[in-house]
Structure 1
Amino acid sequence: MLFALICTDKPDHLQVRLDTRPGHVAYLEGLNAKGTLKFAGPFLDEAGKPTGSLVVVEAADSAAAELIAEADPYARAGLFASVEIKAWNWVFNAPQGA
């Protein structure tokens, strides 16, 4: 089952994001190697600065998706004001086997 992790950064936490980015990228690369990560990227403001993240993962259930979200170095560093986890169905332009 697919889950969208919709993460909103705390205001004025850009430096936390920048400092934690290498660990976050390594974490996502590990999820990708396992086939868990489907896609991910930052939300941007009008100036092109990141304000949050969208991460779509495959997990057995919402509890497993929550564990994935909690283990993200961004979450551990306290970057996010909120994380919403929603079951998601990839209907259009899904790659084979998604």
Structure 2
Amino acid sequence: MIYVFVCKDKPDHLQVRLDNRPAHVAYLNELNAAGTLKFAGPFLDDAGKPCGSLVAVEAADIAAAKSLAENDPYAKAGLFEQVDIRPWNWVFNNPSA
């Protein structure tokens, strides 16, 4: 099952994001190499600066998805104000379809 993480950054936490980006990218690269990561990228504010994240992963269940989200270096650094984890059905343009 694919789970999507919709993450909203805490206000005024851009520097936390920037400081932890290398570890976050390394974590996503590990998930990608394992075939777990489906897609990911930042949400942008009106000024074009990152203000959140969208991450889609393959996980056995919601508990496994939560574990992946909690182990993201951004989450460990306290970047996110809110993280919504939802199961998602990839209908259009799914490369595995």
Q: Shorter-chain TM-score: what band?
A: over 0.9
Aligned residue in 1 for 2:74? 74
Distance in 1 (CA, whole Å) between partners of 2:77 and 2:45 is: 21
Distance in 2 (CA, whole Å) between partners of 1:60 and 1:8 is: 24
Aligned residue in 2 for 1:18? 18
Distance in 2 (CA, whole Å) between partners of 1:65 and 1:96 is: 20
Distance in 2 (CA, whole Å) between partners of 1:14 and 1:51 is: 7
CA displacement at 1:93 relative to structure 2: 0.3
Distance in 2 (CA, whole Å) between partners of 1:38 and 1:71 is: 17
Q: Name stretches of at least 5 consecutive residues in structure 1 with no aligned partner.
A: none
Structure 1 length-normalised TM: 0.97
Secondary structure in 1 matching 2:48: coil
- 4+ runs deviating over 2 angstroms: none
> 1:35-46 counterparts in 2 under 5 A?
35-46=35-46
Q: Residue deviations 1:2-27, cap 9 Å, x none? A: 00001000000000000000000000
Aligned residue in 1 for 2:83? 83
Q: Residue deviations 1:31-83, cap 9 Å, x none? A: 00000000000000111000100000000000100000000000000000010
Secondary structure in 2 matching 1:30: helix
Among all aligned residue pairs of Structure 1 and Structure 2, give the percentage whose two residues are the same amino acid. Answer: 71
Q: Which amino acid aligns with 1:42?
A: P
Structure 2 length-normalised TM: 0.98
Secondary structure in 1 matching 2:85: strand
Aligned residue in 1 for 2:57? 57
